[in-house]
Structure 1
């Protein structure tokens, strides 16, 4: 008998006789689905903070057609959220309603082209994109070496680091809408601003094209090494963290404001402000997501009290409190 968190796999053409397993009713007709659908799926293990509740449903599609098929059957009846590496996200302790989509290896391919463009699956890691471009002598994408995450997240959040961001290099992206329709969106349609896009809620980025420029692989590699070293020296890597917590206000740096407000090393429950980089929060002692988010709100309060600046969250906070 299935329990919450059990996994159901369906081979092509092989499905349960009905959409009910162990007393849990699937949100769609599952016949012909080839991916993996998991009810009450733990998400803590899938995000960098290693905290938070479960997804009502987690779907890991076998390929693009499988994803389109699944979402077309949902047809907007449940909220949909795409999950990449979970490197810049707080999943609240009450879990995530609806369906979380996790793109796996079928969506992680990277191809380079003679016109110095790079085509990537939505599940491709930033370091793979940068490395593939380097090997092909394509410059301009080195900054992705410094962003922990996947292409889908970069496109949605206008990911950036070390002086460049996705809006500088994106040509267009392929997106599966919540009704299962596959569309291509040019970069201009995303209306990029700092760490924000106009990509509709529930849309899943399955591919993107980036424009690079001719470059020397050795020089590109050296720049990537510099970025990696800078991250190593300045950020609390190999910890349970969520990346940059707050957006940099215009003309200011968030970490300096946090530091000036006396928040370096500040703790709440099992969460702590990093002493190495004060714009990072850490899960140091089995923190709940409420600990982490509450600490962030306390930092915001202290910064405003000290400097009059209202910090904005950069980390995505999703789910039920």
Structure 2
């Protein structure tokens, strides 16, 4: 039976083994520490639990999957429908053979990197610099230091709106820089990664060097989403933002990092509206200054705070 938190306990809209929350603040689940509530928020116990739950979700109810919330801006009005959390829940990792690793969507990228290195494998070290989960990395072809997620993907597993668990080939997807397009209404639940042999010492040194470089060039320990904009062809978003004079400037409680101009920091209880306004102003300013229209890498979801809230729409039995 689903454990239900945050509303009339006699109302049980979904039956599963996980935890279902009503009006869960998404600011608790995003790296920006920003975001209105999720109308429904489900924490599954495993893939079988998800396969049981998803068919019970009405077809007209929106669904959103969420990992560590590190590449996500949730608007202040929150998210209607069902949000499914994977981070730390769909967290199985096993070797299928000597060099092939199956990783569920809720495993953090950093954990995948360490696990592979400690097994004497190379190819996944760059994942140590991606502050998200494997599911998020698959969804956007996340990358760091010249490497990208799908370069090491041999296959993926998905789940659709009917709760059907499917295995898919890389050829089922259109993949390019920060872009992945595949079958509609399917979500990644696992990846199969093909790696190469190495030594534990070499892998550990690579990760240390990458993390040292990251610490020297990026703001660490501050609420941000990582890189906000994609790098345009043959250029860097940070260079263009700095050229346009935005480094150290902001809107409301949100400001552009002085250490790396492609990072927006939640400095003083910023709202999602602050961040979104800053993003829009940067896009306009850079386009006027350099003739380049920056494309956000961050995913923006939800409703504006001016929308009629659903906080009062507590179901009754």
Match of 2:222 in 1: 239
Q: Deviations over 1:188-245 (max 9, x none)?
A: 2121111111145653322111111111111111111111101111111110101100
Q: How many residues align?
A: 302
Contact 1:51 1:287 survives alignment (8 Å): yes
Match of 2:299 in 1: 316
Q: Deviations over 1:133-168 (max 9, x none)?
A: 111111111110110110000111111111110110
Q: Deviations over 1:254-304 (max 9, x none)?
A: 000001111101110000000000000010000000001110111111100
Match of 1:157 in 2: 140
Q: 1:112: Cα distance to partner?
A: 3.1
Contact 1:80 1:178 survives alignment (8 Å): no
Distance 1:318 1:201 in 2: 18
Q: Residues 25 and 200 from structure 1, CA distance in 2 versus in 1: closer, same or farther, beyond 3 angstroms?
A: farther
Q: Does 1:63 align with 2:46?
A: yes
In structure 1, runs of 5+ residues without a counterpart are: 1-7, 11-20
Match of 1:16 in 2: none
Q: Does 1:121 align with 2:107?
A: no
SS at match of 1:192: strand
Match of 1:9 in 2: 3
One of 19, 22, 37 as aligned partner of 2:8? 22
Distance 1:72 1:110 in 2: 26
> Which deviates more, 110-119 or 130-139?
110-119
Q: Residues 115 and 228 from structure 1, CA distance in 2 versus in 1: closer, same or farther, beyond 3 angstroms?
A: same
Match of 1:297 in 2: 280
Contact 2:229 2:295 survives alignment (8 Å): yes
Q: Residues 269 and 106 from structure 1, CA distance in 2 versus in 1: closer, same or farther, beyond 3 angstroms?
A: closer
Matches for 1:16-95 after TM superposition, within 5 Å: 22=8, 28=13, 30-31=14-15, 33-74=16-57, 76-95=59-78
Q: Residues 196 and 182 from structure 1, CA distance in 2 versus in 1: closer, same or farther, beyond 3 angstroms?
A: same
C-alpha RMSD over aligned residues: 1.8
Distance 2:247 2:236 in 1: 15
> Which deviates more, 233-242 or 202-211?
202-211
Q: Give the TM-score of the pair, scaled to structure 2.
A: 0.91
Q: 1:41: Cα distance to partner?
A: 1.0
Q: 1:23: Cα distance to partner?
A: 8.7
Q: Residues 235 and 64 from structure 1, CA distance in 2 versus in 1: closer, same or farther, beyond 3 angstroms?
A: same
Which stretches of structure 1, 4 residues or more, deviate above 6 A after TM superposition?
none
Distance 2:23 2:217 in 1: 37
Q: 1:75: Cα distance to partner?
A: 5.2
Q: 1:106: Cα distance to partner?
A: 4.3
> Which deviates more, 172-181 or 294-303?
172-181
Distance 2:132 2:186 in 1: 17
Distance 1:94 1:228 in 2: 36
Contact 1:79 1:99 survives alignment (8 Å): yes
